[in-house]
Amino acid sequence: MKILTPNSIPEALRMLKDGSPDARPIAGATDLLVHWPDQRTSHAGPFVDLSRIDALRGHRWTEDELVLGALTTYWDIITDPRANDELPILPRAARTVGAVQIQTRGTWAGNIANASPAADGVPALMALDAEVETAGENDTARVPLDAFYLGYKQLNMQPGWIITAIHVPRRRCDFSSFIKVGTRNAQAITKVGAAVTHSDAGWRVVANSMAPTVRRCRALEDALDRGISIASPDALIPLLEQDLAPIDDIRSTAAYRMNVLARVLFHELAPVCPFIGTTSGRNAP
Amino acid sequence: MAASTRIEGIDKLAGRERYIDDLDIPGCWWGMTKRSPVPRGTIREIRFGPGVDWSEFVVVDHRDIPGPNQVRLIELDQPVLASEYVRHVHEPVVLIAHPSRAMCRRAIREIEIIVDPEPAALDFRVPPAPEQIQHGPDNVLSHLTITKGDAERALRDAPHIIEGVYETGAQEHVYLETQGMAAWEEDGTIVVKGSMQCPYYVLNALTHALARDEKHVRVVQAPTGGGFGGKEDFPSVIALHAALLALKAGRPVKIIYDRAEDMACTTKRHPALVRHRTGVDSDGRLLAQQIEMTIDGGAYVTLSPVVLSRGIIHAGGPYACDNVSIVGRAVFTNAVPFGAFRGFGAPQSQFAGERHMDRIARTLGIDPAELRRRNLIRDGQTTSTSQTINDGTDRVAVLDTAIRLADAEKNQQEDRAFNASHPYLRRGTGIACIYHGGGFTGSGEVHLASRLHVAALPDGRVEVRTATTEIGQGMLTIFTDIAADRLGLDRSRVTIADADTARVPNSGPTVASRTAMVVGKLVEDACDDLRRTLGLDPVARGGAVTDAIDNWYRTHPDREPVGRAQYRQPPGIHWDDETYRGDAYGTFAWAAYAARVEVDLRTFQTRVLGFQTVQEIGKVLNETLARGQIAGGVVQAIGWALLEECVWRDGAMANAQLTNYIIPTAADVPPIGVHFLENPYPHGARGAKGIGELPMDGPAPAIANAVADALGVEPDTIPLTPERLMELMTHARA
Ligand SMILES: Cc1cc2nc3c(=O)[nH]c(=O)nc-3n(C[C@H](O)[C@H](O)[C@H](O)COP(=O)(O)OP(=O)(O)OC[C@H]3O[C@@H](n4cnc5c(N)ncnc54)[C@H](O)[C@@H]3O)c2cc1C
């Protein structure tokens, strides 16, 4: 097994090109190591360890953005008072990832690039209209996160490119909520998840573990923006079904996922949306 | 006695304890196992692919077994390595060894076992189709009955008959240390060292299949990272594999399962289906119990008949009923064999029994605690096997203490108000009354005839020699304290010999909650015998003992004084294996558990808010360890009740990973109240009864009963995952 340790972005990109098609970048390596040693042979290619590249480290606040370097960890955000104050959905999501060991190693960029439909960092970022900055040897690009997934584990990024940063608009949300229904209370993979925000840009509802990729529920967003009344959790389901397609797998069932997403969303939204719930205020669970 | 510190505790905490995987054995090769890809069929061909150089490997199959191709346990039906036929997925067929573990991994993928598949029996709950029958007329491998009075007639006359069907799932042990074993030959003796509960079980399996006498086989327990029954029967299999490879390779070979192999290929708790038909009068008094218990044995007998036996003996619960009929069946399927797991059938049958008590209570409109009070065994009354209970324990007080400590009545009032107002959270309380027999069932302990020695060493210390193993439960500490206490010595003057069959006598297996109660008693007896050997009077202690040891070695420098003990059945115990009647156990531990839960109707998740245990266990030997046993058992049972689901696909466990087989984390566990009541058992060490398995019996029914209380549905199947609860609520609404 070979691990390469570039000190700059250009060096990393060169190493990735030289080692193509098997070379792979690693950041915290928490995703990569999950299947160790079973898939060691399928991980034969050289690993390009990004962790020594200073340009990728840390996060910063600009006039109108929070910029996460590709090495920014969950812990970096959990411990940033400004993030807790301005964009609380990010630290809230971060706290649900694995447990402290993973939170201190795992990166937001790794979470995006790993492209798991169950990723917990991605929905929170997507609900804030984050954009992904990527770089190749001769070029860079900036793609909205909600356009970054083309299909299951398919990224809108060219082979040999890396994520260099994530840009999060500093937009005040008057409502934000992060929901993780995991297999247990910690060290859990999400069975049903959602991130919800409301700001001047309107409603964002993003679901994870509900489709081949993390996905925005645009039909529901639209209904919320227009204030269409929704009397019960079950009434949410037809809206959700327009964007989502959950499956049965070893962790849960499609029926559970859809039912539970509808219920948790309903009870998150009912207290803040006058048009959601019965007029009596006595709602079905 | 204040809780003394744990002997090996710091080594474990500091990571200094050396488990078998940590041991550097010079010249050792790695062993690995190639297994059946299908649940049932005839092996047509074994192909060795071109991807590795096979001349570098040692390869073993059934033809390399010197003796009979049988894993000796209760029956001899399980082959060490499949020869022509496979009966379950992952059945071992070929073994390989190589200096490099990575090369072994690669080579295993190069081997292909080609099997002509045959129809597999994969659902123990339904009668097999003709083409699935593999044993007798119906695949039933063990059939047992308990009869007391006339249940049929009493049911005909009963004013109320209440029926229920209950199901419990398989459970993986998830000991921290996976199975591992090393073997080598030393001066004509095959030495096997590894993770295990029962060195003499392993020894018996080795002498049989290797066709060697006991003198040429030596089994040594390495520090063992948990067992829970998973290292009762299975280590014989992996020990045989390591030994066969070592013999053929002519060098040491070590096999260490990784977590995925361990979870997929080793034993689990038997899944069970239990039907109850109960006759009661209008006050809720039990008039007749008719119970049918079926367990899935998997592909080989392993320990299924005795698991079934303990299961049905505990099925009636700690209640008095004059008319009982219990029928138990263990059936063969083509699942990976099920085996011993903490509780050994009793958690399954008592889940059903205690859920059923709640169903009776709800049907009759009687408070569940009151129903139990009316039926709990009073001294002088008998269990289902007609064993008279006369131990002076007030079982109603055990229950009432649990209810009081749990604040159950106040909580229930508060919860009713809470449930009426909360949009989606529902709270409830449930109780369970349980009992657990300590030691082997019936005449089991007499057949085991366990032995133990206490020797005096030239340096003045005494050494306890026993095949009982430390598996995390604290045996080293308990036995040290028992011996020190008996002889009046400082505990630094007591040492426990390694569990090495070349040095220690057969004290029976480390199972069945028998360590402190049965084998601990032998420590006391052997200490007494040592005193006799040293020529001391029966009350000599402390300085008198050390002086006598010094004197002994001055006069007999080359003869070691040894105190010997062998199990003697306490007087007045009678058990009849033919009729399944009599004193099933020397004694029972009694307990009452109360759970308070909160169900989230958005997610159908059940959270245990609080858990109170009260148990009468004879005598607490070490409070810290005893609390650890209870709290640990409760956590393990919370997992079984709510989270741990084995997902089966074609007879294989599809979620053999800790990411997808969900055991509780600290965040899933409530504060656990542990309260002991003591009523010393005259035949246990210092009055102790068995405690290790007891806490596995009660939590699942208490939690399910609490969910029933919260929601008004009857959760009769566990694990009660959110998905299963959603289904149940959907059906209840429909
Ligand atoms: C015990 C455990 C618990 C976990 N719990 C959770 C959880 O609750 N929720 C959750 O969402 N995830 C969880 N994970 C998964 C994982 O920790 C996260 O997805 C984490 O964010 C991955 O970041 P990383 O830096 O470790 O990625 P790595 O493992 O280093 O990389 C992951 C993938 O991203 C690629 N990659 C990494 N950085 C870049 C980059 N800059 N440009 C391009 N590609 C890149 C790698 O090639 C690889 O394919 C858990 C993992 C473990 C082991």
pLDDT tens, position by position, B632-661: 999 999 999 999 999 999 999 999 999 999
- Domains of chain B and any CATH numbers: 9-118+173-265 (3.90.1170.50), 272-440+581-733 (3.30.365.10), 450-566 (3.30.365.10)
* A256 closest CB neighbour out of B643, B659, B726: B726
A181: nearest CA partner in chain B: B603
What's the pLDDT tens digit per position in B15-29? 999 999 999 999 999
Q: Which of A252, A202, A263 is CA-nearest to residue B645?
A: A252
A98: nearest CA partner in chain B: B659
Tell me: pLDDT of A8 over 70. yes
* B643 closest CB neighbour out of A184, A255, A259: A184
**Banded model confidence at residue A33, pLDDT cuts 50, 70, 90:** confident
What's the pLDDT tens digit per position in B670-698? 999 999 999 999 999 999 999 999 999 99
Listed by number, the residues of chain B in 440-499 with a beta carbon closer than 8 Å to a beta carbon of chain A are: none
Name all residues whose Cβ lies below 6 A of ligand 1: A 24-32, 34, 50, 70, 97-98, 102, 105-107, 109-111, 113-114, 119-121, 162-163, 187
Tell me: pLDDT of B734 over 70. no
* Contacts across the A-B interface (CB distance below 8 Å): 68
CA A94 – ligand 1 centroid, Å? 12
CA A260 – ligand 1 centroid, Å? 26
What's the pLDDT tens digit per position in B512-534? 999 999 999 999 999 999 999 99
Burial B140-161 (b: 16+ CB within 10 A, else e): bbbebebbbbebeebbeebeee
**Banded model confidence at residue A37, pLDDT cuts 50, 70, 90:** low
Q: Which of B343, B408, B340 is CA-nearest to residue B370?
A: B408
Tokens coding B29: 């090769």
- Pairing status of strand A190-199 against strand A175-182: antiparallel
Answer yes or no: are the C-beta atoms of B217 and B203 closer than 8 Å. Answer: yes
Q: What is each CA distance from A253 to A139, B6, B648, in whole angstroms? A: 43, 45, 15
pLDDT at residue A282, as a whole number? 73
* A250 closest CB neighbour out of B424, B601, B654: B654
Answer yes or no: are the C-beta atoms of B473 and B696 closer than 8 Å. Answer: no
CA B669 – ligand 1 centroid, Å? 27
Tell me: pLDDT of A40 over 70. no
What's the pLDDT tens digit per position in B91-105? 999 999 999 999 999
Q: What is each CA distance from B697 to B317, B359, B641, B714, in whole angstroms? A: 11, 18, 11, 19
pLDDT averaged over chain B?
Answer: 97
What's the pLDDT tens digit per position in B199-253? 999 999 999 999 999 999 999 999 999 999 999 999 999 999 999 999 999 999 9
Q: How far is A201 from B601, CA to CA, in rounded Å? A: 32
Q: Which of B306, B327, B346, B337 is CA-nearest to residue B74?
A: B306
Model's pTM, two decimal places? 0.97
Contact list in A for residue B660 (CB cut-off 8 A) is: 183, 189, 250-251
Mutate to test the pocket of ligand 1, among A9, A48, A97 (most ligand atoms within 8 A of CB): A97
A248: nearest CA partner in chain B: B723
Contact list in B for residue A192 (CB cut-off 8 A) is: 603
Stated as kind and residue range, the H or E segment containing A78 is helix A74-78
pLDDT at residue A20, as a whole number? 87
pLDDT at residue A41, as a whole number? 56
Query: Chain B closest CA to A63's CA: distance in Å?
Result: 39
A284: nearest CA partner in chain B: B423
CA nearest ligand 1 atom 9, residue? A97
Tell me: pLDDT of A283 over 90. no
Query: Chain B closest CA to A87's CA: distance in Å?
Result: 26
Answer yes or no: are the C-beta atoms of B585 and B441 closer than 8 Å. Answer: yes
* A181 closest CB neighbour out of B601, B603, B659: B603
Mutate to test the pocket of ligand 1, among A13, A15, A26 (most ligand atoms within 8 A of CB): A26
